[in-house]
Amino acid sequence: MSPQVLVLGANGRCGRAIALAFAAAGWRVHAQLRRPWTGPAPPNLEPLLLPIDAHDPIAAAARGSRIVVHALNPVYTRWEREVLPLGDAAIGLARSLGASLMLPGNVYNYGDPIPAVLTESTPFAPNHPKARLRIALEGRLEAATDVRSIVLRAGDFFGAGRGTWLDALMLKPLRRGRILYPGPVELVHAWAYLPDLAQCCVRLAERADTLPAHTALHFPGHAVTGERFVAALSAAALDLGLISAPARIGGVPWRLFRAAGIAMPLLRELTRMSYLWRQPHALQSERLATVLGEHAGTPLPQALHATLAGLYPAGSVQRQHAIHGDSALTSRSRCS
């Protein structure tokens, strides 16, 4: 019998990538959704169109699941109200199912300023609101001693759909031969290619029973300078025919965003986190290789090529619209 997994928030960019990775690995996937699944679904993926507070129906539909993936991520402007209640709902479902709980984590826990090198033993710094919320969320996982929990911490997502820094901001002026970069290009920034992260989640799920009751691991991903990242992005765009010459690098108008944040709450919240682009940081793992063995992941040039090919399918209306769009960030964007 195939192992089963419940993915909460399976229509989000991270949840969808993880759900598809589990399905591809032969797991039966129960995909909790707030809106219908779009596009083709694997035969072993079962959409559950239920709100997260429908505890009993979700638990009944996902009975037999060994893993619950907490991929619910509220819009930035609703974090204060929703982060901890969503975490409690995920813990409750894992408890009811007798399952291990997996949480894709981020680097907010380390506060501002953020250390340049982040390992699993780097201390947290709850010195801004989102850091305090993420620390509290992980604290609740650790305190739930009757639920095995795994946190896999990663940098900014790219790949596997829209709603990342790439399509929401960096590629907006691509038709004019420019790529925006949100910080100094000489600094190292932590990135996570979602298909690689999703594969790592599956591999950890297969070994969940061998891990301590609460485990926090780092996904190293791609820690590269802005210059290297944009060069690889530009090369991929050239190869796909999206631009005709290497792209120029443009900056992000954070001061303008900060001023606009008075009327646009999302921009206000994003600018509060802009320190992550002004301070170098990289994720290193002291433990992941011990658990899973060495895994190189997808090289950055190939990962960015696949990402752009997915964002701009050849000859599609979506591609033309994306290349010619000039708006900055929409109220629906979620950059993690």
According to the model, what pLDDT value does residue 326 have?
A: 38
- Statement to judge: residues 131 and 246 lie in one domain: no
What is the pLDDT at residue 319?
Answer: 45
Quickly list H helices, 240-299.
254-260, 265-272, 275-278, 288-292
The residue behind tokens 């953020």 is 114
pLDDT at 316: 42
* Residues 17 and 166 grouped into a single domain: no
Model pLDDT, residue 322: 42
Q: What's residue 161's pLDDT?
A: 79
What's the number of domains the chain is made of?
Answer: 2
- 54 and 108 in a single domain? The answer is yes
Q: What is the structure's pLDDT at 160?
A: 81
Report the CATH number at residue 138.
3.40.50.720
Q: For residue 167, give its domain range.
A: 161-189+224-279+299-324
Assigned domain for 288 exists: no
CB neighbours of residue 119 within 10 Å: 13
CA 74 – CA 28 distance, rounded (Å) = 26
> Given this model, what pLDDT does residue 80 score?
93
The answer to whether residue 292 sits within a structural domain is no
Same domain, 72 and 172: no
* Alpha-carbon gap, residue 278 to 252, rounded angstroms: 12
Residues 121 and 86 in one domain: yes
In a domain, 333, yes or no: no
Residue 75 shares a structural domain with residue 103:
yes
Taking only the tens of pLDDT, the chain with its 336 residues reads 899 999 999 999 999 999 999 999 999 999 999 999 988 899 999 999 999 999 999 999 999 999 999 999 988 889 999 999 999 999 999 999 999 999 999 999 999 999 999 999 999 999 999 999 999 999 999 999 999 999 999 999 999 878 888 998 999 999 899 999 999 999 999 999 999 999 999 999 999 999 999 999 999 999 999 999 999 999 999 999 999 999 999 999 898 888 887 788 878 888 899 999 999 999 999 899 899 987 779 999 999 999 999 999 874 434 444 444 433 343 333 334
Can you give the pLDDT at residue 136? 98
37 within some domain:
yes
Please report the pLDDT score of residue 295 as a whole number: 75
Same domain? For 244 and 312 the reply is yes
Are 92 and 175 in a shared domain? no
One domain for residues 129 and 182: no
153 plus 167 within the same structural domain: no
Residue 334 lies in a domain: no
Q: Are residues 104 and 182 in the same domain?
A: no
> Is 331 part of a structural domain of the chain?
no
Q: What are phi and psi of 93, to 5 degrees?
A: -65, -45
Q: What share of the chain is helix, strand, coil (3-state, %, to 5)?
A: 40, 20, 40
* Each residue's pLDDT tens digit, 137-181: 999 999 999 999 999 999 999 998 788 889 989 999 998 999 999
Which DSSP letter does residue 132 get?
H
Strand, coil or helix: 67: strand
pLDDT, tens digit (0-9, with 9 covering 90-100), for 300-328: 999 999 999 999 987 443 444 444 443 33
pLDDT of residue 109: 98
| Domain assignment of residue 310, yes or no | yes
Per the domain annotation, does 76 fall within a domain?
A: yes
Contacts of 315 by beta carbon, 8 Å cutoff, 6+ apart = none
Please tell me the pTM assigned to this model: 0.92
Residue 136: which of 108, 102, 99, 117 has the closest Cα? 108
13, 157 contact by CB (below 8 A): yes
